[in-house]
Amino acid sequence: MKNTLRIAFMGTPDFAVASLEALLENGYPVVVVVTAPDRPAGRGRTLKASPVKECAEKYGIPVLQPERLKDPEFVGQLEALDVNLQVVVAFRMLPEVVWAQPAFGTFNLHASLLPDFRGAAPIHWAVVNGETETGVTTFFIDAEIDTGQIILQEKTPIRPDETTGELYERLMQMGARLVLETVRMIEAGPVKTRTQKHLQTPKKAPKLTNENTQLDWDTPTQKVHDKIRGLCPFPGAWTHFENNGTVERVKIFRSTTDDLNDEAPSGSIVKRENRLLARTADGWLEVLEMQLPGKRRMPVKDILNGLEIQKSARFL
């Protein structure tokens, strides 16, 4: 006999929308959507709804937007809706009073092959670390972050020059399929799970900060290249750019390795016609797309049309 489901879907960004739509388009009863409160956005600072809220309203699904997930009023609203399964995709950490409530549990979609890359930015860090494979995982939430019993996993290769933005799109669709398959398993019941492996040194996916998104030109070429593509398109790898007696903060979005064999200190810059090459610890990198302060992201060949590069120019 199939379980009769009443689902609460919890998520905020567009990554979660694909999973929500997969459930709705396959007839699953999502009785409520929980998402972040509307936030000011744009130059006018007008309130903007999350992508998940916009999707829910399109389908006519009630939306809850609690500031505090432990709020008794919010917890009571979930209880009153008789929710028996919660599906979480790209949302906040849930308190036990919420995740432990449904009869069939609360499961999360995580964009990595757990137990590796637990944390806030798993897609970014898989690319930054130069991984050749990643994937998506569904697991039942427990008291610790990203440690619960694994339900399903699906793997995919990471292409050598793939950016986080490109991988994000693929994992979003993979994740939606895995969420749908996971709900079907729970509906059919019972669900077989497996315990996550204990790793002595698991790969981590911490929140992206100003400190861990800065480029270090004293590292090998491949490491610099991987960090650039791992932080593209958001938030962008950044570095200081010294030229014409000024030092500015710039972002680099695209690069490729180069076989130039000139010796120079790390961070040195060489202009070759409409190309910009930068020295790393063990070689050279060609910078393909960059963003100067107050400007939009542009191909370097276009930037060089209006920018004079001094011989002493360098990345710091």
Give the separation between CA 174 and CA 167, rounded to whole angstroms: 10
Is 113 annotated as contributing to ligand binding?
A: yes
Is 47 annotated as contributing to ligand binding?
A: no
Three-state secondary structure readout of 157-208: ECCCCCCHHHHHHHHHHHHHHHHHHHHHHHHHCCCCCECCCCCCCCCEECCC
DSSP SS3 for 283:
coil
Give the separation between CA 56 and CA 7, rounded to whole angstroms: 13
Torsion of CA 48, 49, 50, 51, to 10 degrees: -100
Is 112 annotated as contributing to ligand binding?
A: yes
Residue pair 107/80 in contact by the 8 Å Cβ criterion: no
Is 292 annotated as contributing to ligand binding?
A: no
Q: Which residues of 20-33 are buried (b: 16+ CB within 10 A; e: fewer)?
A: bebbbeeebebbbb
Binding residues: 112-115
Binding residues for (6S)-5,6,7,8-tetrahydrofolate: 112-115
